[in-house]
Amino acid sequence: MTVIHDRPGNPAAGDADRPIGYGRIQRKEDPRFVRGQGHYIDDMVLPGMLHGAILRAPVAHARLVSIDTTNALAHPKVLAVITGKDLLALKLAWAPTLSADVQAVLVTDKVRFQGQEVAFVVAEDRYAARDALELIDVEYDLLPPVIDARKALDPDAPLIRDDLEGRTDNRIFDWEIGDEAETEAIFAAADVVVAQEVVYPRVHPAPMETCGAVADFDAVSGKLTLYETTQAPHAHRTLFAIVAGIPEHKIRIVSPDIGGGFGNKVGIYPGYILAVVGSIVTGKPVKWVEDRSENLMSTSFARDYIMQGEIAATKDGKILALRTSVLADHGAFNATAQPTKNPAGFFSIFTGSYDLKAAFCKVRGVYTNKAPGGVAYACSFRVTEAVYLVERMVDILARKLDMDPAELRLKNFIKPEQFPYANKTGWVYDSGSYEEAMRLSMKMAGYEELRREQAEKRERGELMGIGVAFFTEVVGAGPRKHFDIVGLGMADGAELRVHPTGKAVVRLSVQSQGQGHETTFAQIVAEELGIPPENIDVVHGDTDQTPFGLGTYGSRSTPVSGGAVALVARKVREKAKLIAAAMLETRPEDLEWEKGRWFVKGDPGAGKTIEEIAMAAHGTMTLPEGIDGNLDAEVTYDPPNLTFPFGAYICVVDIDPGTGHVKVRRFIAVDDCGTRINPMIIEGQVHGGLTDGVGMALMEIIEFDEAGNCLGGSFMDYLIPTAMEVPDWETGFTVTPSPHHPIGAKGIGESATVGSPPAIVNAIVDALAPYGVVHMDMPCTPARVWEAMQGRPRPPI
């Protein structure tokens, strides 16, 4: 059915037509971006600014024998060359990671991954700094590397972390959750059990803007101003205080416009610390911006989970239990960004969207001689891996039972009346209407017609696949009592000031990387107070100007800061009520709110607008007792639970039987993120995540050779979808508001990245069913698809 909608928000529209609050409005940040006036880290120029460059290790595992910096220091434009030895003297050679490990800022003892930081040059310009890297002589004594995570705990495996006292092997952690005995009992008695190894390979978020920093240390005041590409400026401030020993009130972190983050810009990288050291040493501002290879080879990768999945069911397709054992490759340092109590992130949501009798999961984390990281690339703290596992396993079960994969899912969904639903691994899903979303996606896709088309094509030997995936996300960490990062509770603040003329400023702890926070959060205030969004400025990304909070990752901005902003606006509204009552010479309880105005119940003509109240709050009238002037408020929001967005995705692929080339012909995505603030921005978030999914399913991988050389170290090797590889997305939505969130919103930033890879792989495996293929590991490159069609084992990329 097609309907005609007015599209409100056209800037040329009259004010009267403009929606206040939720709806499709243009983004407030766009006018500067389309003029090329965004202000990214590399656009920053400070007076007297110097440039830093990092010398990186060419090998994966080697003892550092010597570094000779004489020739580099002799370069006429070089001001400083900093090595690990210098940092040891400053007690800065090692920095704490976000997972309670330590990471070398510069190598002091041995190299532990290719691309690791070895020395830092500070020079007058960008080119001279790079030239000087070539003048540093380093001698390495090569050691055998650990590259394959499966061999990391072999008895003869080289010990990577000999810097850690008492460490005798490469184990980082063993973690488990669920009832192992109960799960085993159900598996033992089940009609049908299928098992499959499912590998989620190492990939990289690769934002278009790489990471960088400009450090400006003022020796007189002792104040450090650090401009850096960070998604979490406040957490960085605290960590820098701990790492560098600079008092926290003397640190200002500024996160300017960020050219994409996707989790890549959560951690503190050695380059940021080195820029600070460079500024302290030279007394001048120092800029460091990595190049693309540095970004791909040294900053936070994502995934790298080897998962053994098992699913148990009755013969008529009732899923009973899930079980998995995971080997997690964390690289050379455990620097993954995740809540302290969750070493495998939120992977335990691997029970998916299904009503199970039992589940058990165990995860083992190991060190390897590869770059550190693991939680990044819009993964919602490992929900990507969890959803991929369960959605592959359900499809494999469907094949085994000879059931339609959509039908199998519909039969096993948690039902709306079961919410709040406590799953078998400790989560309480807040709300859901899974069947509704699944049915809508099938209707949009024309599912039955697609199956008919597929059957006809199979008759003709053509390879067409239809992939179904359903996901439940878990985002918005957290309740602070359950979730912290390095001891900092995961709550977020918001401050709102309404100026005398009724224009407002809202200050946030979270930081946009392109998600449109300046628009979305203004719309939340607008909805609550009736002030038009264009009259509300959003301030973020500067720790001297914003309240404390943990930042933007794990799709937590709307679930956490969105709650904070709604509550702070309501606080202002209540204050405005008291002032309005005084203005109208009536009792507050006699007033009623309509958007933008308090009025006397039963007498709509007698009222005061928020603008009139704001002027009065700053004026000369006698204010009610307890109101000391102004129309400001602040809150810190500690969410009572996480939120659980969900969605139903259907992918249609065509495969060229001659080449194994996969074409994603259609992709239908139905998302439910609860209350929708700006549908245009939501759609954009979904589109971006779906494209990530095509990338991971078909082309993206960071691989290593046996010596530990990174094989995905440039965009010539690390392939990302272009406009030619993705279809025109078909998106739809259902709305199931979160019952505990102040405005019912759930977050949308990562849903599509989580949900799309299994839909695509399921479609590919479905297309290859005539060849007996039941599973393929990503990325499904033409070579791998073609080999699978020949019944041969997986070739290298």
Partner 1 sequence: MQISMTVNGSEVVSDIEPRVLLVHYIREVLGLTGTHWGCDTTNCGTCVVLMDGQPVKSCTVLAAMAAGHDIRTVEGLATAGTLDPVQQGFMEEHGLQCGFCTPGMMLTARALLDKNPHPDDIEIRKAISGQICRCTGYATIVRSVQWAAAHPAGAVADVAATDEVLEGTDTVIPDVADAEVKA
Judge whether 638 and 494 are in contact, CB under 8 Å.
no
Least Å distance, CB 405 to partner 1, is: 22
Least Å distance, CB 281 to partner 1, is: 24
Residue 717, both tokens: 């090797």
Nearer to partner 1, 514 or 758 (CB): 514
Distances in Å between the alpha carbon of 765 and those of 76, 317, 453, 753, 784? 60, 20, 17, 19, 12
- Find all residues with CB under 8 Å of 690, minimum gap 6, and list them: 667, 669, 726, 729, 752, 756
Least Å distance, CB 586 to partner 1, is: 41
In whole angstroms, give the CA distance from residue 344 to residue 8. Answer: 44
- 173-184 in b/e burial notation, b at 16+ Cβ within 10 A? eebebbbeeebe
Judge whether 193 and 385 are in contact, CB under 8 Å.
no
CB atoms within 10 A of CB 677: 25
Nearer to partner 1, 429 or 667 (CB): 667
Nearer to partner 1, 492 or 518 (CB): 518
Distances in Å between the alpha carbon of 321 and those of 179, 194, 456, 614? 11, 11, 36, 58
Nearer to partner 1, 150 or 443 (CB): 443
Nearer to partner 1, 27 or 499 (CB): 27
Which amino acid, residue 561? Answer: S
3-state secondary structure 101-115: CEEECCCCCEECCCC
Least Å distance, CB 156 to partner 1, is: 39
Least Å distance, CB 210 to partner 1, is: 7
CB atoms within 10 A of CB 599: 19
Least Å distance, CB 745 to partner 1, is: 17
Q: H or E stretch including 764? A: helix 751-767
Nearer to partner 1, 127 or 603 (CB): 127
Least Å distance, CB 199 to partner 1, is: 24
Which amino acid, residue 280? Answer: I
In whole angstroms, give the CA distance from residue 361 to residue 348. Answer: 7
Nearest to 476 by CA among 674, 755, 667: 674
Nearer to partner 1, 207 or 467 (CB): 207
Residue 219, both tokens: 């020796």
In whole angstroms, give the CA distance from residue 268 to residue 236. Answer: 7
Least Å distance, CB 75 to partner 1, is: 15
Judge whether 9 and 523 are in contact, CB under 8 Å.
no
Nearer to partner 1, 608 or 676 (CB): 676
Phi and psi at residue 520, to the nearest 5°: -60, -45
Residue 119, both tokens: 């020395």
Nearer to partner 1, 423 or 731 (CB): 731
Q: H or E stretch including 698? A: helix 679-698
Cα-Cα-Cα-Cα dihedral of 510, 472, 746, 695, to 10°? Answer: 50
Least Å distance, CB 769 to partner 1, is: 28
* DSSP letters spanning 714-742: STTTS----TTTS---EEEE-----SSST
Query: Where do we find the tokens 């990939």?
Result: 203
Nearer to partner 1, 14 or 487 (CB): 14
Least Å distance, CB 351 to partner 1, is: 29
Scanning 447-512, the segments in alpha helix (DSSP H) are 447-459
Nearer to partner 1, 4 or 181 (CB): 4
Residue 652, both tokens: 């249609």
The alpha carbon of residue 164 and the mean position of all alpha carbons in its chain are separated, in whole angstroms, by 30
Nearer to partner 1, 42 or 632 (CB): 42
Nearer to partner 1, 440 or 627 (CB): 440
Phi-psi region of 751 (alpha: psi -120 to 50; beta: other; left: phi over 0): alpha
Nearer to partner 1, 97 or 756 (CB): 756
Least Å distance, CB 44 to partner 1, is: 9
Least Å distance, CB 255 to partner 1, is: 13
Judge whether 148 and 93 are in contact, CB under 8 Å.
no
